[in-house]
Amino acid sequence: MAKIKGIQIVKPEQLQIIEMEKPQIDEKNNVLVKMKAAGICGSDVGIYHGTNAAATYPRVIGHEMVGEVVETGPGATKVKVGDRVIIDQVTACGHCYACRIGRPNVCQHLAVRGVHIDGGFREYIAVPDKDCYLLPDNLRYEDAVLIEPTTIAIQACSRAQIKEDDEVLIMGMGALGSRMLSIAKLSGAKIIVADIVDEKLEEALAAGAHHAINLLKENIDEKIKEYTTDAYGPTLSIDCACTKDSLGTLIRIAGNASRVITMGFSVTPTEVTNFGITSKELDIRGSRLQNRKFQEAIDLVKAGKVDLDHKISHTFHFLDAQKAFDFNETRDPSIRKIVLTFDD
């Protein structure tokens, strides 16, 4: 059996380069993809540190998977050898309540590549053809990785039922927050962003946000009153910071009858009161992964409505994954998105 290399989190805080069997295509996983680029996501960092409540170990992580089709089996009609693709990370049972109502991203038996089953930080992966999506022609492999976080943003805006007359607060302007801004602004809504890094706020303003709040230098309660009509508060709040305190803050400043979207995976208790939710009749909605949003994201890129060109900040060869994770740990202000590459 041919062997390939992969990046495995053996247990929390232990990252290892492993040799594993090269995947073989079969009736179900009928497409073999040679990995070209894979993004490091906040959730990968969480699995590394043991703070992702969903993950199981040992695990080959990575769910932002871009590559080239190198082999197909019978029944593979969606892609052919040579196609450049991104792979959907969600696998679902197809039978449970969530699957039956069309929400496989929260399947009772959900198996996410890179979280519950082995993912994309390895040289080859075998997947069903239906999970492969063709990349836009002129998008580099490294940049195409950002299609995945874009799908996450599309999912959150879909869960939020964002509309043109919303006044939206996006908390956190990291890789996910900036993707959220790029999708949320397509609705025509007013958008306020908050973060602790001035450079990220400036980039957000340049990218179409209407107001920016530096959480270290400004009082968010006051600024939200100033920036929303009649000091009403956001009609939609999206938590892309996902810290212990961000949900409580969003509930406190949310406008009456508004929606609050959570996306975090922390299990650290946070103080939320009945009154905080009931008195304003808030809709608190979780948004997890994405529900078949890849084609929508790719179509937005093709139409020029979402720009993914040269938005990543750093690349490392995948065998230097430890270096990449260590560098991410420095919280260097230049970090936007770190991508692993697989060139020979």
Q: Cβ 146 to Zn ion, closest distance in Å?
A: 28
Q: Cβ 43 to Mn ion, closest distance in Å?
A: 6
- CA 87/CA 145 separation, integer angstroms: 10
Question: Which CB atom, from 41 or from 282, has the smaller least distance to Mn ion?
Answer: 41
- Residue 93 contacts Zn ion per CB under 5 A: yes
Query: Would you say 340 and 321 are in contact if contact means Cβ atoms under 8 Å apart?
Result: yes
Number of CB atoms found within 10 A of residue 232's CB: 15
* DSSP result, 197-256: -HHHHHHHHHTT-SEEEETTTS-HHHHHHHHSGGG---SEEEESS--TTHHHHHHHHPPT
- Residue 112 contacts Zn ion per CB under 5 A: no
Question: Which CB atom, from 107 or from 135, has the smaller least distance to Zn ion?
Answer: 107
Q: Cβ 296 to Mn ion, closest distance in Å?
A: 16
Among positions 96, 126, 272, 284, the unique one binding Zn ion when judged by CB under 5 A: 96
Judged by beta carbon distances under 5 to 8 A according to partner kind, the member of Mn ion, Zn ion, none in contact with residue 65 is: none
- Residue 41 contacts Mn ion per CB under 5 A: yes
Contacts of 82 (CB under 8 A, 6+ apart): 68, 69
Interface stretch with Mn ion, choices 33-41, 46-54, 110-118, 224-232 (CB under 5 A): 33-41
Question: Which CB atom, from 179 or from 211, has the smaller least distance to Mn ion?
Answer: 179
Which two three-digit tokens encode residue 147? 């299609």
Judged by beta carbon distances under 5 to 8 A according to partner kind, the member of Zn ion, Mn ion, none in contact with residue 41 is: Mn ion
- Residue 111 contacts Zn ion per CB under 5 A: no
Peptide bond into 74 cis (omega under 30): no
**Residues at the site binding Mn ion, with contacts judged by CB under 5 A:** 41
